[in-house]
Structure 1
């Protein structure tokens, strides 16, 4: 259930149109996201979140009655907007080019979001809600890839081959290093294209 900003009065109760209050809530979430990424959820005291957000601890608990409410809010709010517009990326007759563009978009999203890059993967084994959010994210990714492929192929392909190709490409994306990572850097455009061509070659055997 989405968290709602309380409306009751109190020492730290911001007015509905108080931009300072909205800014404080955002700073709290920003601090929580960065600290959860750096120290883990269990290793981050709420006092450190309040300190880094520059707010009294009481104001943090006004917005988020428990630390887990911060993680829930991050999952609900910071994972939005990561959907891939398959229609905009599809290249009719050239599904491999679409796969390359999805790879580029995926890496850009991962690089921008510590929720996707660190928190989601780290906490999936300790919190069921995070595992569910990750599973949903990966499912949506596979669905986006499958939709792109179906819009790109020049002739009908067996649905089973489309789904297999989508799962294969989604799995490949998870192996890609992020920009600036100390694991060998980004894949070259040629390597991405070769991998995409290989996936599409297998998919086309289902025509």
Structure 2
């Protein structure tokens, strides 16, 4: 039996996922066939089903696979010396994909599918909880270390931040001419004002 190279396996799997992403963003899960995914990825049906048992599996992998090191990024942000700067940078990283029409479309389709797929909803909620935990931790540290207004409730503030990030994706997916770079700059400015405190102002 031929040995499978793990790196090659991951790369091929990733290739199929990236080929399918714009299809799901434009046509939704229900409107995307396995044939269209196969054609976009340039693979045979046998190859496609070797890596994914269904188109739903491709879609779920796009939303839940941690190929981009999301967990490591959250952990690194939590451990930075300056929690306020770490918080602002993390929010920018979480919101930045809204600049991509494909990413914004995938988020909207994920919300639609989660409403009728309990397993997907649970996976998305788990990812959201990890982000919320990291945001809460950084707000709490910022408050303790004088980098944020002491009256702020860390958990409530983190929830508001997540809500604002979600609103950016919604606007990116539904508004013609949405200016993502400008909105990301405004988001950083808004958070600086919201946090208050005596920490460094890193508006840019």
TM, length-normalised to structure 1: 0.68
Q: CA deviation at 1:47?
A: 0.7
Q: CA deviation at 1:117?
A: 2.9
**Where does residue 201 of structure 2 map in the other structure?**
none
How many angstroms apart in 2 are the aligned matches of 1:111 and 1:33?
Answer: 15
How many angstroms apart in 2 are the aligned matches of 1:188 and 1:59?
Answer: 40
**Unaligned segments of structure 1, at least 5 residues:** 1-8, 202-207
**Unaligned segments of structure 2, at least 5 residues:** 198-204
Work out whether 1:183 is the aligned partner of 2:171.
no
Q: CA deviation at 1:41?
A: 0.8
Between 70-79 and 36-45, report the one with greater CA deviation: 70-79
Q: State the SS of the aligned residue for 2:43.
A: coil
How many angstroms apart in 2 are the aligned matches of 1:141 and 1:79?
Answer: 16
Higher helix share: 2
How many angstroms apart in 2 are the aligned matches of 1:78 and 1:41?
Answer: 20
CA contact (8 A) 2:78 2:86 kept: no
Structure exhibiting the larger radius of gyration computed from Cα positions: 1
2:133 pairs with one of 125, 143, 151: 143
Work out whether 1:196 is the aligned partner of 2:196.
no
Deviations, residues 94-132 of structure 1 (Å, cap 9, x unaligned): x3x444323222223444794x53323313232333322
Q: State the SS of the aligned residue for 2:65.
A: helix
Work out whether 1:152 is the aligned partner of 2:142.
yes
CA contact (8 A) 1:142 1:170 kept: yes
Between 75-84 and 133-142, report the one with greater CA deviation: 75-84
Q: Which has the higher contact order (CA 8 A, sep 6+)?
A: 2
How many residue pairs were aligned?
A: 183
Q: CA deviation at 1:23?
A: 4.8
1:100 pairs with one of 88, 93, 102: 88
